[in-house]
Amino acid sequence: LLASALAVPLAAGNLGGRAEYVGGTRPDIPDGCGGSLQTIDTLYFVFYTKKASLRVPYDKINMIEYGQNVGRAYPLALAIVSPVFLLGKKHSHFLTVDYADEDGHQQALIFRVDKRDVRSILVSLEARTGLKIQYQDEEARKGGKG
Interval 84-126: pLDDT, tens: 444 444 678 999 999 999 999 999 999 999 999 999 999 999 9
CA dist 35 and 27 (Å) reads 16
Q: How far apart are CA 4 and CA 119, in angstroms?
A: 21
Q: What is the pTM of this model?
A: 0.76
Task: Give the rounded percent of residues in the chain with a pLDDT score beyond 90.
Answer: 57
Q: How many CA atoms lie within 13 A of 130 on its CB side?
A: 6
